[in-house]
Structure 1
């Protein structure tokens, strides 16, 4: 491999590794720790639903996904699955799939 090809290969590998690290960081978001801007950044959340989440969370952290869905109108199973697929967690746990 010549010097130019090696340099290009190295940049590609390093760029890919960096993208994976950033992607993992961007996806790791716990609903009990996230601030307003972070919640708004979740596709499908929006300002109205974010406000409901923050209001419910002010009364105490969410125990699990079931607790979240009971306490926040507008988050039901389909929406929870959408959020979990984007990396949102409740107490570090993704939504468990139903068989």
Structure 2
């Protein structure tokens, strides 16, 4: 147990020491300054269920998510994310807000 405390102490000291020398995310990547560290959940509009869509996509609640699935079941798979514009309540602004999360595929 004492050995584990020593190891933990060394790891913590190393993190503090190296943390002071670390670079910011903007210095290490090409991400824009407004890049967020939040988790992005990808949604396949041809495979995922309404529950996942409603939880993952901002502005898409249970009713719109159910409408997406119903449209897919009635008319077949979506050819592109722009096809979501045929769903009542999904307009260009909503689509642009979630586009980065959308995948169109059959597998």
Quickly name the TM-score band, shorter chain normalised: 0.5 to 0.7
TM-score normalized with structure 2 length: 0.57
CA shift for structure 1 position 61: 0.8
Aligned residue pairs, count: 77
Moved over 6 A (4+): none
Structure 1 CA distance for aligned equivalents of residues 90 and 104 of structure 2: 13
Residue matched to 1:43: 58
Residue ranges of structure 2 left out of the alignment (5+ in a row): 1-8, 19-36
Instruction: Tell me which structure has the larger Cα radius of gyration.
Output: 2
Structure 2 CA distance for aligned equivalents of residues 52 and 82 of structure 1: 18
**1:43-63 per-position Cα deviation (integer Å, ceiling 9, x unaligned):** 110011111111101021111
- Higher RCO (C-alpha 8 Å, min separation 6): 1
Q: CA RMSD in A?
A: 2.9
CA shift for structure 1 position 39: 0.8
Residue matched to 1:66: 82
Residue matched to 1:14: none
**1:15-51 per-position Cα deviation (integer Å, ceiling 9, x unaligned):** xxxxx7x93xx52221111112101112110011111
TM-score normalized with structure 1 length: 0.61
Q: For the structure 1 residues 9 and 53, does the alpha-carbon distance in structure 2 shift closer, same or farther, using more than 3 Å as the test?
A: farther
Residue matched to 2:13: 5
Residue ranges of structure 1 left out of the alignment (5+ in a row): 11-19, 93-99
